[in-house]
Chain A
């Protein structure tokens, strides 16, 4: 289906809770070093897609301040007001259109130090039914979802804590992660500040300052740039309803649909067997079993078993978030794109202590909206 599109370059910042420089300087340094790593200049990029958000940037048309910093001055650029994996999807589509051979996708935010992410997120809610009552935000919606899953499948607070420890330990081994928890344990997770039961502070992703960028290329252009392209073999995206009351938080229909589209396109019949690792955009640890199951990576309701057997560990049957995922660093708008960058690093054997042995096919997931209303899935494959 369509043209073959490759990822020929990828990079993320070392994320932090209080970045020393401005966002403009941060993306400038990131993109310049990415160009230099893959041996191109800005002139080699045909189109630039930026993921940012006026909310999280504190100014309107928030990408325009960044445009000249990535080499897009006097060139073609566009923006997605959503998670960064949407920018990669948009870039992918532009190359598919045949009008462009190369594209840079970038996501960035300063959600660690410049504003309070949960505060901003509460303004996303529906102004007629949800916002006036002031009862729900991203966090409490995740708590509602966690409770549904736990009740239905006997997934206990200690199981969730154990899963959280897995992610926090992976994050400790990830040089790009912002969060460093000293010796995370089930007890330290359960002893962290309760927020919205069953969620504690330790379950919440690490809102951070950071950015990520990828360079996509058509087959012809990819050959010019690299001798080890990573191929995007499947993409899927889907949007659920805005009103929370019309959604099934457990089934995650939009994620399910995005996954099915991507698998169909990539010719994947059995995700469990054919995918070597998954990087999921989990804003909360409790989302991990729900998302992984909606994507068919584990049997439905198997969270307790998966945690007990360590199936989602780096050396497990289906490693999930070997990077630590957003629990290690969640720069809003970059988080999903970071998943893609981490998958690429895994496929090229660059993931250090978190390396999944022999990883050949990876899944990257991005999401946006309360309760993961909108979802994007990428399947990426190494050729040799």
Chain B
């Protein structure tokens, strides 16, 4: 019968990749977090500030290395109320995932938002500040969450 189908199980466990990633910009960012600072890089040609920093400016296609510190404050950009976890399963305590634009930076940083009672009251453009972990280790997780001011 031409339209008969059957299931064939076939594993798809490929291999372990050993990705090489540019370390300087990432190192700069996590080093900053360890000192409870937000560090990024500025393009001296077009003035764009990238947080986390990059090694080059995608607009000008030039290397950039000027380090800038931005204040750990900014505005709430976009947010969603997670009533599901990353795999789509319902969660007991909904939480807010958001993007934040630090003052003086063009890029958005992602994290979770605290300091709200009813999410209906949360609005784009609200002011936030960074809350670091008490003990920082130089990891992305040092940035604990964003707190509504």
B partners with A:
yes
Hey, which bits of chain A sit against chain B, CB under 8 A?
A: 19, 21-25, 28, 32, 41-42, 55, 58, 68-69, 71, 73, 110, 113-116, 119-120, 123, 127-128, 131-132
* From A23, A32, A116, contact of B20 by CB (8 A): A23
Hey, which bits of chain B sit against chain A, CB under 8 A?
A: 8, 10, 12, 14-22, 55-56, 58-59, 61
How many angstroms between the C-alpha atoms of A58 and B55 in the bound complex? 22
* From B16, B19, B22, B58, contact of A68 by CB (8 A): B58
Can you give 28 A-B contacts (C-beta < 8 A)?
A: A19-B20, A22-B19, A22-B21, A22-B22, A23-B20, A24-B22, A25-B55, A32-B61, A42-B61, A55-B14, A58-B14, A69-B56, A73-B58, A110-B19, A110-B20, A113-B18, A113-B20, A115-B15, A115-B16, A115-B17, A115-B18, A119-B14, A119-B15, A123-B14, A127-B10, A128-B8, A131-B10, A132-B10
A-B interface pairs (CB < 8 A), number: 51
How many angstroms between the C-alpha atoms of A342 and B18 in the bound complex? 29
By Cβ-Cβ distance, the 4 closest A-B pairs, closest first, are A58-B17, A68-B58, A73-B58, A22-B20
Which residues of chain A are within 8 angstroms of B56 by Cβ–Cβ distance? Answer: 28, 69
The answer to whether A114 and B58 touch (CB under 8 A), given A127-B10, A132-B10, is: no
- A55 to B, closest residue via Cβ: B14
How many angstroms between the C-alpha atoms of A119 and B12 in the bound complex? 12
* B interface majority secondary structure: loop
- Tell me if A25 and B14 are in contact (CB < 8 A): no
How many angstroms between the C-alpha atoms of A55 and B15 in the bound complex? 10
How many angstroms between the C-alpha atoms of A4 and B15 in the bound complex? 44
Which residues of chain A are within 8 angstroms of B17 by Cβ–Cβ distance? Answer: 58, 114-115
- Tell me if B20 and A127 are in contact (CB < 8 A): no
* From A73, A114, A119, A128, contact of B19 by CB (8 A): A114
| A114-B17, A115-B18 known, 12 other contacts, Cβ within 8 Å | A21-B20, A22-B22, A23-B20, A41-B61, A55-B14, A68-B58, A73-B58, A110-B19, A114-B19, A114-B20, A123-B14, A127-B10
Which residues of chain A are within 8 angstroms of B61 by Cβ–Cβ distance? Answer: 28, 32, 41-42, 71
- Which of B14, B20, B22, B55 has its CB near the most chain A CB atoms (within 10 A)? B20
How many angstroms between the C-alpha atoms of A114 and B21 in the bound complex? 11
Which residues of chain B are within 8 angstroms of A71 by Cβ–Cβ distance? Answer: 61
> In the complex, how many angstroms separate the beta carbon of A11 from the nearest chain B beta carbon?
16
Which residues of chain B are within 8 angstroms of A42 by Cβ–Cβ distance? Answer: 61
Which residues of chain B are within 8 angstroms of A123 by Cβ–Cβ distance? Answer: 12, 14
Which residues of chain B are within 8 angstroms of A110 by Cβ–Cβ distance? Answer: 19-20
Which residues of chain B are within 8 angstroms of A73 by Cβ–Cβ distance? Answer: 58-59
Which residues of chain A are within 8 angstroms of B8 by Cβ–Cβ distance? Answer: 127-128, 132
* From B12, B16, B22, contact of A25 by CB (8 A): B22
- A31 to B, closest residue via Cβ: B61
How many angstroms between the C-alpha atoms of A71 and B12 in the bound complex? 34
> In the complex, how many angstroms separate the beta carbon of A373 from the nearest chain B beta carbon?
20
Which residues of chain A are within 8 angstroms of B10 by Cβ–Cβ distance? Answer: 127, 131-132
How many angstroms between the C-alpha atoms of A120 and B14 in the bound complex? 7
